[in-house]
Structure 1
Amino acid sequence: MRNTFLACAGVVLTAAALAACGSSADGNDPEAAGAKRPAASGPAAPGPSTTAATEPATPPSEEPEASGEPEASGEPEASGESAPAATAEGPKTPADEITPATGTFTRKQKEYLKDRVPKGMDPAAVLQTGQETCDKLRYLVKADRDTAVGAIVTGEIPDAKDAVAGLCTQHQDLVDEAAYGYPDGKHSGKNLRPGVYRSASPTTDCSWRIEGAGGKELASGASGTGKSRKITIPGSAVTFTSTGCYAWLPEGGEG
């Protein structure tokens, strides 16, 4: 279920990429842009090849020799260099020098960009990353709230905490709840918090196991239905292992 939501979110927000960038120029709140991060990296629509057989094939004896240069593809060649990530290490642009090419940034946008823009990088690109995060959360929470929280728990939306704090505070409850959740994997020691949890967007191969001292099994189970299940992690638990359940969220919002 989560894969469908995330895939649909990517398609919906591809068309919204330019709109999200525009919000930094006209001063509008980034959440007005749309419901998910406008990813502008979708593949181009396939079309007829420019080398369609409209010309006779070159006879073998007349084939041109390889020139050693790449054949023109009709698209600009990749330079081999990519823009530095917003969280890249290195010197950052001073806050008082962060300005958009056109228009102005809002106060919230300036706060978000502080200490995030690497030297020489367009601040609008950094801002767009945060706006896309907010848009994605907005889309997911409308489709299925547990999937939205689970995406934060599992790290599928790694920058959610900062984006929400700076650009879309209305989603702070999602981040707060995610802080008490568990992604698939093995959890032990101080990472365990007693309480009741529900699985968020589990697969049909969801299984779990709770162990106490000495590896004693306290509880275990599996679900092949893909429907949410509830478990209780007791205070005596030493390890909790989950596979195929995606994420476990605390009942009542916090564990």
Structure 2
Amino acid sequence: AVPGPSATTDATEPAAPPTEEPADPEASAPAATAEDPKTPADEITPATGTFTKKQKEYLKDRVPKGMDPAAVLQTGEETCAKLRYLVKADRDTAVGAIVTGEIPDAKDAVAGLCTQHQDLVDEAAYGYPDGKHSGKKLRPGVYRSASPTADCSWQIEGAGGKELASGASDTGKSRKITIPDSADTFTSTGCYAWLPEGAAG
């Protein structure tokens, strides 16, 4: 009975760090991917079986030389599975996970493997993760918080740092804010992500 639980623990532990450490893979993966030579598309073959046309298209220009293409495909399929799970649980959390980078390769995986989730990626493109946002990255509109903590706060500033609006919520419930045209800076802490209300854009 002892080997079983420890094997289960070992299998569970590696699955958790990738979702808890999105910053490192996101920061290092593109640099490594951009520099490493890729396996030509016509040379991408699985160890056993075959890839579908859709899978081959996804793998094109993604498989570093010497790497098993099935491992690259599995990463994309796991991303799609995460999105499928999150959408069933709470759509706003799924979009928020893309906005925050918690699911760093969502855009590519959705475009190549699970196109039914394109609306999530499209909405996430107009959202804001916690942090400070200013300049051209700031878009006026109405936003709602997705999965805020019980320590969610925000501040909107205009020219010269003049406070236009601010607030806090200790309920953990979604809040709505309006970022006006006159806003120069939007800062959010503990709110996880802000998603656009209504039509994106």
Fold in common (TM above 0.5): yes
Q: Find the residue that maps to 1:52 and give its secondary structure.
A: helix
Structure with the higher fraction of residues in strand conformation: 2
Q: Find the residue that maps to 1:228 and give its secondary structure.
A: coil
Shift of 1:87: 3.2
TM-score normalised to structure 2 length: 0.84
Structure 1 gap ranges (5+): 1-43, 65-74
**Contact residue 86 and residue 118 of structure 1 kept, 8 A:** no
**What is the percent sequence identity of the aligned residues?**
91
**Contact residue 20 and residue 102 of structure 2 kept, 8 A:** no
Q: Find the residue that maps to 1:177 and give its secondary structure.
A: helix
- Greater C-alpha radius of gyration: 1
Q: What does the per-residue CA deviation read over 1:86-108, in whole Å, with 9 as the maximum and x for residues that have no partner?
A: 83631111100000111110111
Structure with the higher fraction of residues in helix conformation: 2
4+ long deviations beyond 4 Å: 44-64, 75-78, 82-86
**Contact residue 19 and residue 103 of structure 2 kept, 8 A:** no
Q: Find the residue that maps to 1:76 and give its secondary structure.
A: helix
Which residue of structure 2 aligns with residue 55 of structure 1? 13
Shift in CA distance, 123/222, structure 1 to aligned 2, threshold 3 Å = same
Which residue of structure 2 aligns with residue 140 of structure 1? 86
Shift of 1:254: 1.2
Shift of 1:110: 0.3
Structure 2 gap ranges (5+): none
RMSD: 10.4
**Contact residue 204 and residue 223 of structure 1 kept, 8 A:** yes
**Contact residue 150 and residue 172 of structure 2 kept, 8 A:** yes
Shift in CA distance, 96/211, structure 1 to aligned 2, threshold 3 Å = same
Shift in CA distance, 150/52, structure 1 to aligned 2, threshold 3 Å = closer
Q: Find the residue that maps to 1:58 and give its secondary structure.
A: helix
Q: Find the residue that maps to 1:243 and give its secondary structure.
A: strand
Q: What does the per-residue CA deviation read over 1:219-249, in whole Å, with 9 as the maximum and x for residues that have no partner?
A: 0000000000000000000000000000000
**Contact residue 86 and residue 117 of structure 1 kept, 8 A:** no
Shift in CA distance, 152/76, structure 1 to aligned 2, threshold 3 Å = closer
TM-score normalised to structure 1 length: 0.67
Q: Which moved more, 1:87-96 or 1:195-204?
A: 87-96
Q: What is the alpha-carbon distance in structure 1 between the residues aligned to residue 101 and residue 37 of structure 2?
A: 26
